[in-house]
Structure 1
Amino acid sequence: MQDRADMKDETRALPVTAVLEPLTAALKSHGRAVLSAPPGAGKTTLVPLHLLERGPPGRIILLEPRRLAARASAFRMASLLGEEPGGTVGYRMRLDTKVSAKTRIEVVTEGVFARMALEDPELAGISTVIFDEFHERSLDADFGLALALDIRAGLREDLNILVMSATLDVARIAALLGDAPVIESKGRAYPVEIRYQARPPQARIEDSVADAVRAMLATEEGSILAFLPGQAEIRRTAERLEGRVGDDTDIAPLYGNLTRAEQDAAIKPAPAGRRKVVLATSIAETSITIDG
């Protein structure tokens, strides 16, 4: 496995690196912790890798609220180790699993974890359970946390539980975890300019978004991230943009039912000399960070 020092150049600028040691110490002393870190801080990928190296022996389970985020985080962690998913880092979700006997970090969706806990109430061989993006709140996430706390209280006092979130009432969740330590990571701030463009009531949303995107491409530099309600609106907006943007601009839809290659094309930065328009569902608001 690649040592954390080998990943320094890729990860040293991420704000969460400043709190990795205090977080490890909190888990070692209390067995429970809450990490509050803004979007883009690096918590999803760096925390599990750090705990793999510095935490207690055993497998680490990382819960993600969405399949796209689970797959993307697994591929990102595996790439930082110079591997492919299914080695040190794997993932498990409905109809798609890549794990092996070598897997030490397993990224799972919330429903999968609930089944794991019900089938093996001791969570044998698992040292740490991490609930990522807990601010999204779902029945599966709440049920999974209740199961983990119950297992820790009744069967596994050594089971570490970590809740991570970008926007969370940390005091309430820390109290739920038995006054667990709260670790806060700083984020990275960027200047924001807000402009408002009204949409006529009779206009279709895909027409308005396509017009706004073309206007921004003509007046601004760089890539664009546009949010739409769902897959159908994304497809229709992409159709309206095809052939009506510059030759240096790629249109990249982003939603859960795309292939991994299509998802990667949306998540990765645009190649040098090119621009990208990402048409995304709300997943890019809360569950993943899109470079560039």
Structure 2
Amino acid sequence: MPLPPSPALPIDAVLPRLLGALDERAGAVLVAPPGAGKTTRVPLALLDADWLDGRRIILLEPRRLAARAAAERMAATLGERVGETVGLRVRLGSKVSGRTRIEVVTEGVFTRMILDDPELARVGAVLFDEFHERSLDADLGLALALDAQGGLREDLRILVMSATLDGARVARLLGDAPVIESEGRAFPVETRYLDRDPNRRIDEQMAELILRALRADPGSVLAFLPGQAEIRRVAEALEGRVGPDTDLAPLYGALTPAEQDRAVSPASPGRRKVVLATAIAETSLTIEGVRIVVDSGLARVPHYEPGLGLTRLVTARASRASVDQRRGRAGRTEPGICWRLWAEAGTGALEPFARPEILAADLAGLVLDCAAWGVSDPSRLAFLDPPPAPALREAGAMLRDLDALDADGRLTEAGARLRALPLPPRLARMVVSAAGS
């Protein structure tokens, strides 16, 4: 399918190498920094590959907002609407048709898709975008896709794409697959530090720093905060203080699509915007007009409490890879400035990468999904980081107590009913029991 002309992007320079690698091999790794264009350029470039043979391309995105943005951008490139050549499938909604050749899905949706259709009969390629975020769903999805490729679909292409990733390590997991690296396109970003006062609330200091950044330089601001509560408090603190020509826009996953669109759309002519965002804005999105980033250096991460059997969100320091991604948001379209609410020396003490969720999460859902796949021991699958054995034992014991697994680790009828609900197994058991099933 010939594509309409579009502005050149850095990824274009390596597309011939990538297409050649996938012509010869069933797997590849693409490492490309933010702004290279990998998310929207690569799926479109693969459409005419001979090995695809008219089948679909599945593109995995870590969040609904990123999935929707990618689908809309690719559809616009083709002069179409989402649901035609490019479709979208997320929880509680989809836009696909018989014409759809590229299907953008969230990571959790893909797990359901491959468990329902292990052969992926109508799929020619699975692309894992932003894999460096290392969610549990992404790790499980890749393990299942590799298992399907090895046992059912030798012709299935698997491409892992990331901005900050140890490409060689992932390549080994994919059977020594080729690694293709692309240059990014980023403008210079000046970094300024302001040490945080540990005796004051983070939202108070962020509000003051945002006002300082607005006074110091022109352009819109993207501020990174750990969660919704902090975003709400900072918005309240800034109300009436940012000036009549500046709009405030929150950005987090629970907002409606219309509210998210308002945050990521360019500011009106003659106006500025302050976008107050969680880590949702770290990757896959370009917010036009943003040339100032204000970073709290914090993130909300899931933490499993084995004694309680619950996963809760805790506030922690972001990784060095994450804060570098955030800084890069200021230089996507022009030279920018990044304000960091910590001392410069503190950057070196940050963890290099965020800890993979599989190493600290409740693995009950993963064990249940693996049982549905026909694997009673998840450690037999190819994970980039194997799930910890104690966590697997605990999850298996709990699922047997719920009658979701039998003594040999196989899925029971009750377990199949629990899997049908989009809930953690314990909560699903409560719902099933309350319904008298």
TM exceeding 0.5:
yes
C-alpha distance in 2 between matches for 1:7 and 1:231: 40
Moved more, 248-257 or 188-197: 188-197
* Aligned position for 2:144: 147
How many angstroms does 1:54 deviate by?
Answer: 4.0
How many angstroms does 1:113 deviate by?
Answer: 0.8
* Aligned position for 2:24: 29
C-alpha distance in 2 between matches for 1:90 and 1:249: 35
Moved more, 161-170 or 149-158: 149-158
Distance change (3 Å), C-alpha of 1:53 and 1:263: farther
Deviations 1:170-199 (A, max 9, x none): 001001101111111001232222222233
1:86 aligns with 2:83: yes
Asked if the contact 2:250/2:276 (under 8 Å) is kept, the reply is yes
C-alpha distance in 2 between matches for 1:200 and 1:47: 44
Q: Secondary structure at the match of 2:29?
A: strand
Q: Secondary structure at the match of 1:193?
A: strand
Deviations 1:34-58 (A, max 9, x none): 0000011111111111112446221
Identify which of 152, 156, 161 aligns with 1:159: 156
Q: Secondary structure at the match of 2:242?
A: coil
Deviations 1:65-118 (A, max 9, x none): 112211111111112222222121111121122212221111111111111111
C-alpha distance in 2 between matches for 1:30 and 1:17: 20
Instruction: Supply the AA of the counterpart residue of 1:22.
Output: R
Instruction: Supply the AA of the counterpart residue of 2:22.
Output: L
How many angstroms does 1:286 deviate by?
Answer: 3.1
TM-score (norm. length: structure 2): 0.63
C-alpha distance in 2 between matches for 1:177 and 1:245: 50
How many angstroms does 1:25 deviate by?
Answer: 0.9
Q: Secondary structure at the match of 2:47?
A: helix
Deviations 1:117-149 (A, max 9, x none): 111111011011000000000221111111111
Instruction: Supply the AA of the counterpart residue of 1:160.
Output: R
Instruction: Supply the AA of the counterpart residue of 2:108.
Output: G
* Aligned position for 1:189: 186
Instruction: Supply the AA of the counterpart residue of 1:41.
Output: A
C-alpha distance in 2 between matches for 1:252 and 1:87: 31
Asked if the contact 2:83/2:97 (under 8 Å) is kept, the reply is yes
Asked if the contact 1:135/1:166 (under 8 Å) is kept, the reply is yes
Asked if the contact 1:66/1:287 (under 8 Å) is kept, the reply is no
* Aligned position for 1:61: 58
Instruction: Supply the AA of the counterpart residue of 1:96.
Output: G
C-alpha distance in 2 between matches for 1:25 and 1:269: 37
* Aligned position for 2:260: 263
Moved more, 281-290 or 167-176: 281-290
How many angstroms does 1:62 deviate by?
Answer: 0.4
How many angstroms does 1:200 deviate by?
Answer: 2.7
1:232 aligns with 2:229: yes
Instruction: Supply the AA of the counterpart residue of 1:68.
Output: L
Moved more, 190-199 or 65-74: 190-199
Asked if the contact 1:39/1:289 (under 8 Å) is kept, the reply is no
1:176 aligns with 2:173: yes
C-alpha distance in 1 between matches for 2:185 and 2:250: 26
Deviations 1:247-273 (A, max 9, x none): 221111111111212212222232332
C-alpha distance in 1 between matches for 2:90 and 2:271: 34
* Aligned position for 2:340: none
Moved more, 137-146 or 50-59: 50-59
Instruction: Identify which of structures 1 and 2 has the higher relative contact order when contacts are C-alpha pairs closer than 8 Å and 6+ apart.
Output: 1
Distance change (3 Å), C-alpha of 1:53 and 1:7: farther
Instruction: Supply the AA of the counterpart residue of 2:40.
Output: T
Superposition map of 1:1-292 within 5 A: 3-4=2-3, 6-8=4-6, 11-12=7-8, 14-54=9-49, 56=52, 57-292=54-289
Distance change (3 Å), C-alpha of 1:285 and 1:237: same
Deviations 1:189-224 (A, max 9, x none): 322222222333332222211111111111101111
Identity %: 68
C-alpha distance in 1 between matches for 2:12 and 2:232: 38
Give me the CA root mean square deviation: 1.6
C-alpha distance in 1 between matches for 2:174 and 2:250: 38
C-alpha distance in 2 between matches for 1:202 and 1:287: 35
Instruction: Supply the AA of the counterpart residue of 1:148.
Output: A
C-alpha distance in 1 between matches for 2:28 and 2:143: 15
Instruction: Supply the AA of the counterpart residue of 2:248.
Output: I
The structure with more radius of gyration? 2
C-alpha distance in 2 between matches for 1:239 and 1:50: 45
Could you list the runs of 4 or more consecutive aligned residues of structure 1 that deviate by over 4 angstroms after TM superposition? none
Q: Number of paired residues?
A: 287
C-alpha distance in 2 between matches for 1:247 and 1:65: 36
Asked if the contact 2:18/2:180 (under 8 Å) is kept, the reply is yes
In structure 1, the gaps of 5 or more residues are: none
